[in-house]
Amino acid sequence: MKKVSAISWELIDAINESARACYPQEFLCLSRHNDGVVDELLLIPGTVYGDSHGFLNMWMSPINASIAGTVHSHPGYRNEPSDADIDFFSSWGGIHIITCQPYNRSSWKAYDSNGYELKVNMVD
Ligand SMILES: [Zn+2]
């Protein structure tokens, strides 16, 4: 798999828009990358949004090498991953984006599968 090297701002805007639409529930989906730039959301049929935590139906997800990782939103003002989040990340590898209120360009962070913050380059 090509190493993911950047995230597009457009993707972040789309994530925050979806997060606002789902609030007060969590928004949850997968992301894809093209040539190492994470720039596409992959909505999974069968995804259930819950108050406590989104549940992703793994059986419905396509096996696809271009999957970059996961994306989800937190109602509230914390974008740190919970223990459950880190368990979830480890199933998917790659890069995991969490956004929180107020769902803007500075309210999100990216993490690796162990829950450590990743520094990523941004592209327009
Ligand atoms: Zn979470």
Is residue 98 domain-resident?
Answer: yes
Residue 34 has pLDDT above 60, yes or no: yes
Let me know: does 123 contact 9? Beta carbons within 8 Å.
Answer: yes
Spacing, Cα 65 to ligand 1 middle (Å): 24
Spacing, Cα 58 to ligand 1 middle (Å): 17
Number of H helices, E strands in the chain: 2, 8
For residues 106-120, average pLDDT? 95
Let me know: does 119 contact 6? Beta carbons within 8 Å.
Answer: no
Q: What is the CATH number of the domain that holds 106?
A: 3.40.140.10
Number of domains composing the chain: 1
The average confidence (pLDDT) of the chain is 86
Spacing, Cα 7 to ligand 1 middle (Å): 19
Q: Which domain holds residue 75?
A: 6-118
Is residue 1 domain-resident?
Answer: no
Spacing, Cα 25 to ligand 1 middle (Å): 11
Reported confidence tier of residue 51, pLDDT bands at 50, 70, 90? low
Separation between Cα atoms, residue 77 and residue 87, nearest integer Å:
21
Separation between Cα atoms, residue 104 and residue 101, nearest integer Å:
7
Is residue 123 domain-resident?
Answer: no
Most confident of 36-45, 58-67, 103-112: 103-112
Spacing, Cα 28 to ligand 1 middle (Å): 9
Task: Specify which residues 70 forms β-bridges with.
Answer: 30, 96
Is residue 81 domain-resident?
Answer: yes
